[in-house]
């Protein structure tokens, strides 16, 4: 009888074994096999997907991040400390996933570490065709339904028209992927992800928005920003004496140049101005990077360069605009 119960447990698992009647006491001197240990449930992605991490962060979320990065090819010590090695691994992951390379781990980066979507969503996205404006049919209806689930408000009519195109651009912008209105692999992954879009989010080529009517001395803004190159980075900082973050540099430079500007976040400055094309941009305008919910910006210095307070470099720098999705914003 003991042998039969043990065999049943081995085949059907511990849940079945515990449902069996208790075995009679073993004769003295008989050694029982130890009951299988039940391993504690491992932390899941959902425990941390809402946690934003950056250089200097510590704790269990960082340990989970490091383990996830290692599963994607990194070789990190899982010590719970977000140092320079973890930062490099995060940037490598962001680059390989074609998302904003800023070293900040937000929902989009967490999503890329978990495979871009859940397993069921992944199979759904991989089976979908490439769509663009003018497409029609059942796949477009699926796209429209999922866009509405992400925060859009469009008709589910199977016709990829201007409203669907606008929602796709908003999703691509919010997900930090290429804003081209073409629904391919990366956009399908974003459609089935946890990314949320705002109906007020501008598309990359949308030149509408509030006109401030301000008289802007662009070169004075650039000069004020350039004078701070080398100043240390401080999250939330808006004074050179204590450090600057990206929006703090905008606040400082604009006010130094005589333009009264309230203190806002990068996203607040993006939506407070007017979205323009690159060809319209002038020195002193802003360049807002759309990844991580418009999480970074710099001051346009002309000739394809910006001045920004860089979280990855921990200081104010002047550099060329990189390939991450971005929009130009003016307050003129």
Give the 3-state DSSP-derived string for the chain, with helices as H, strands as E and coil as C.
Answer: CHHHHHHHHHHHCHHHHHHCCCCCCCCCCCCCCCCCCCCCCCCCHHHCCCCCECCCCECHHHHHHHHHHHHCCCCCCCCCECCHHHHHHHHHHHHHCCCCCCCCECHHHHHHHCCCCCHHHHHHHHCCCCECCCCECHHHHHHHHHHHHCCCCCCCCCECCHHHHHHHHHHHHHHCCCCCCCECHHHHHHHCCCCCCCCCCCCCCCCCCCCCCCCCCHHHHHHHHHCCCCCEECCCCEECCCEECHHHHHHHHHHHCCCCCCCCCHHHHHHHCEEECHHHCCCCCEEEECHHHHCEEEEEEECCEEEEEECCCCEEEEEECCCCCEEEEECC
The pLDDT score that the predictor gives to residue 331 is: 92
What's the domain range around 22?
1-37
49 within domain boundaries = no
Residues lower than pLDDT 50 in the chain = 1-23, 25-26, 29-46, 116-125, 199-213
224 within domain boundaries = yes
The pLDDT score that the predictor gives to residue 160 is: 92
24 within domain boundaries = yes
The pLDDT score that the predictor gives to residue 10 is: 41
The pLDDT score that the predictor gives to residue 303 is: 93
165 within domain boundaries = no
Q: Cα–chain-centroid distance for residue 214?
A: 33
195 within domain boundaries = no
249 within domain boundaries = yes
Q: Is the whole model's pTM more than 0.85, yes or no?
A: no
The pLDDT score that the predictor gives to residue 99 is: 73
Neighbours of 309 (CB within 10 A): 32
What's the CA gap between 243 and 95, in Å, rounded?
Answer: 28
The pLDDT score that the predictor gives to residue 27 is: 52
Closest by CA position to 51, among listed 64, 38, 32, 42:
64
User: Residue 263 is part of a domain; what is its CATH number?
Assistant: 3.90.1720.10
The pLDDT score that the predictor gives to residue 322 is: 92
The pLDDT score that the predictor gives to residue 302 is: 94
For residue 150 the two structure tokens come to: 């992400």
The pLDDT score that the predictor gives to residue 214 is: 56
70 within domain boundaries = no
Asked if residues 313 and 322 have their Cβ atoms less than 8 Å apart, the reply is no
* Token pair 């447990």: residue: 9
For residue 63, give every residue at least 6 positions away whose Cβ sits within 8 Å of its Cβ, in sequence order, or none.
78, 79, 80
Number of domains in the chain: 2
297 within domain boundaries = yes
């Amino acid at each position: 009888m003991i042998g039969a119960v043990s065999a049943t447990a081995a085949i059907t698992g511990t849940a079945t074994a515990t449902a069996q009647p208790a075995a009679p006491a073993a004769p003295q001197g008989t050694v029982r096999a130890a009951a299988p240990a039940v391993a504690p449930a491992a932390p899941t992605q959902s425990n941390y997907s809402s946690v934003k991490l950056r250089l200097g962060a510590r704790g269990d979320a960082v340990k989970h991040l490091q383990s996830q990065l290692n599963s994607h090819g990194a070789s990190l010590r899982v010590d719970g400390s977000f140092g320079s090695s973890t930062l490099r691994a995060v940037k490598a992951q962001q680059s390989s996933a074609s998302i904003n390379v800023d070293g900040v781990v937000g929902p989009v980066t967490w999503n890329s570490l978990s495979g871009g979507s859940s397993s069921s969503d992944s199979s759904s996205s991989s089976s979908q065709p490439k769509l663009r404006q003018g497409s029609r049919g059942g796949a477009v209806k699926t796209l429209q339904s999922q866009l509405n689930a992400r925060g859009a408000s469009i008709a589910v009519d199977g016709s990829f028209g201007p409203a669907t195109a606008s929602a796709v651009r908003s999703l691509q912008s919010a997900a930090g992927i290429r804003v081209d209105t073409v629904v391919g692999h990366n956009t399908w992954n974003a459609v089935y992800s946890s990314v949320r879009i705002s109906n007020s989010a501008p598309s990359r080529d949308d030149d509408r928005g509030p006109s401030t009517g301000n008289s802007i001395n662009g070169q004075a803004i650039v000069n004020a920003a350039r004078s701070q190159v080398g100043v240390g980075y401080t999250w939330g900082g808006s004074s050179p004496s204590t450090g600057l973050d990206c929006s703090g540099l905008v606040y400082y430079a604009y006010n130094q140049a005589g333009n009264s500007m309230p203190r806002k976040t990068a996203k607040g400055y993006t939506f407070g101005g007017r979205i323009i094309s690159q060809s319209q941009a002038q020195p002193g305008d802003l360049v807002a990077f759309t990844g991580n919910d418009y999480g970074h910006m710099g001051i346009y210095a002309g000739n394809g360069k910006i001045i920004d307070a860089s979280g990855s470099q921990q200081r104010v720098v002047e550099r060329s605009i990189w390939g991450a999705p971005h929009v130009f914003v003016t307050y003129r």
